[in-house]
Structure 1
Amino acid sequence: MRDTPRSQFPHFLAIPTRWMDNDSYGYVNNVNYYSFFDTAVNRHLIEQGGLDIHQGGVVGLVVETGCQYFSSISFPDTVHAGVRVAKLGNSSVRYEIALYRNDDPLPSAAGHFTHVYVDRATNRPTPIPAATRAVLEKVL
């Protein structure tokens, strides 16, 4: 996904970096990239009514993730996280996320993660709720 332009993503979230995101080398530490992924996906789901993190009976658990790094991000950059759904199954969804630094046309990093939807009480896989599926289908 190194050469993926912004136009390939139907949803974006701007995330300002923080002073504390930089490591001793002066760049955003790699662990923060996964936080950007999580923030972009879950904020979109919450804002679109596809996820109730406090009362919802069904929640998505991350079961797989990966990231490739292409160029550095550092404070005070703004990360523009592009989100799309790569695969939508019965109880799981695979997201692809690209992180663009400021106005850069190509991503600084790109990755993926998979949510498996589970019943909050039993922690067993369950079909993706209709409201969540509707939100996910908009970013396919």
Structure 2
Amino acid sequence: MSERAAPSRREAYRAFEPIATRWADNDVYGHINNVSYYAFFDTAVNRWLIAAGLLDVEAGDPIGLVVETGCRYHASAAFPDRLEAGLRVARLGTSSVRYEIALFRAGEDLAIAEGFFVHVYVDRGTRRPKPLPEAWRETLASLTA
């Protein structure tokens, strides 16, 4: 059995998005349910893409489809914790991006959870892979780890 990796530090991430926990995120065990972490990751990535001018959810082309995701938990969180999602791009392919996200309690240095999404960017109409536009590549490169 391999040794568990230590939590990442803030300095390993390039951009940060605030995440508000909600009462409904808690489960019967008194902490945020694991499924909520994936929603936090998705929210952070898409909020950043929208703010960067890359994602137009109503009419944009290309669009990103999630093809793989994962999460490793280091510590629990609970409402009303204030969280911050650190973002970085671990791999920038022709039509795919591996986004890595870490959740930190506001002001803390060690991640409480770390996850990833692999998005394949596709044509909105055909749903076939489409190379990322050069403007996207340049902007996403700013998140490269």
TM-score w.r.t. the length of structure 2 is: 0.93
Shift of 1:16: 1.2
**Equivalent-residue separation in structure 2 for 1:68 and 1:40 (angstroms):** 17
Query: Structure 2 unaligned runs (5+)?
Result: none
Q: How many angstroms apart in 1 are the aligned matches of 2:100 and 2:55?
A: 18
Runs of 4+ in structure 1 over 6 Å off: none
Aligned residue pairs total 140
Equivalent residues of 1:100, 1:109 under 8 A apart: yes
Structure 1 equivalent of residue 65 of structure 2: 61
Partner of 1:116: 120
Per-residue CA distance 1:5-64 (angstroms, 9 max, x = gap)? 101111000111011110111111100100111111111011111111111121010000
> How does 1:1-140 map onto structure 2 within 5 Å?
2-140=6-144
Gaps of 5+ in 1: none
Give TM-score, length-normalised by structure 1: 0.96
Contact 1:45 1:135 in 2 (8 A): no
Residue by residue over 1:82-133, the C-alpha shift from the partner in whole angstroms, topping out at 9 and shown as x without a partner, is 0000000000010111001232211110011100000010000000122322
Give RMSD over aligned pairs.
1.1
